[in-house]
Structure 1
Amino acid sequence: MSSKELRVNTRIKATPVRLIGDDGQQLGIVPINEALDKARDVELDLVEVSPNSRPPVCRILDYGKFKYEQAKKEKIARKRQHSYQMKEMRFRPKIDDHDYNFKCKHVREFLESGSKVRAYVMFRGRELAYTERGRELLLRVAEDMVNIAVVDVEIKREGRNMSMILGPNAETLKRLKESTRTASPKEAETVEVAEKPEADAESSEEETPVETEATNTGSE
């Protein structure tokens, strides 16, 4: 439970409560007034850490220090979540070398930032008759990224899309971890590329990478 939701000291109305001392020792089930007195005796706070238990569990601790530690844990959790965000890169079956290299450049940047990448081919109209081109294209991407990535989810087709998921390999993650120890906050930022409005889907092959903020860990 977040520290923002916890009841502290006289805001705790339940009685009796199961009390845990500031040293972690179980002090048994006691009336709330007795629990408050014990907290005051050691100049600490009484915090209801498990309100849904029967009886509720309260602990004697330094609430200010507790909130600080909780905030640190939440910050670390958010940072870990960010590092596993899923990026997406869309390809068209009839893609020229310039567009292909442009997109692969960003796939590489995403992988080197620690993110997974869902690379997919979108088929439109008559292109559905040539889905094998999409498979060949995705295999080409996987081969071009073989030095920094592994295929987490194999190529599969879903409706008009054919996709696979690439994840950074162990060596890439090791380099990333080592570099972030010495990099400045600006240098450690993940590359983000804004999506352009799609002009003419049939005539324009120039597309910018698509980026999604999902916490996918490898499954669709």
Structure 2
Amino acid sequence: MLKRQIILDTETTGINPKDGHRIIEIGCVELLNRRFTGNNYHVYINPEREIEAEAIAVHGITNQRLQHEPKFRDIAQGFFEYIKGAELVIHNAAFDVGFIDHEFALLQPKLPPVAEYCGIVDTLKLARDLHPGQKNNLDALCRRYDINNSHRTLHGALLDAEILADVYLLMTGGQVSLNLAAEDANNQQDQQGPLVIQRSGKLKVIKASSQELTAHQSRLDLVQKKGGSCLWRD
């Protein structure tokens, strides 16, 4: 069964939705069984209010930039359908989920809170568990996991989601390669009955070379050094 995860980030007009602050950008990166699919989601939103100067200093997005963008109510249903049923992976999840729930509550009719139809993984909590007593913001994690984020001069929802996806995969053991077309074919075959494969001759066994085994062990060492887990290593 495919596991669908959405790496999500938002940018906002300010810190607290209880003070009337709104979402101005949403960026999402989709993973299926820890594999990038390219089915990402990105939208700018007209917040219908002024953006605080402190927030503009962080993300660089101005009201003038957003004046012709859709309002949240215009994108709400499409965004809801995109994330529905997925596991959301968010850095400091309480912040982003709080804003999304606030936006959904403003709609007529309202949409339900995120936790009612999505799982939520907070990578900030995960990082603090893995690296107690250390800085665990996104920039610090990029340095720790040797991820190049030199192009990140300002915060941006899609850019930060893409970077967080790399961080999350390294923190939790790396990316798994998956042939989705083959899996779909297998799923269809399961519905049609057992597949009988006719083989002729002996199967050829190809063993890893000593250089390949050394490279494999070095990769496992790097994953563990960076705080990931290697469940296949004794």
TM-score, with structure 1 as normaliser: 0.23
Q: Which has the higher helix share?
A: 2
Higher relative contact order (CA 8 A, sep 6+): 2
Q: Which has the higher strand share?
A: 1
> Which entry has the higher C-alpha Rg, 1 or 2?
1
TM-score, with structure 2 as normaliser: 0.22
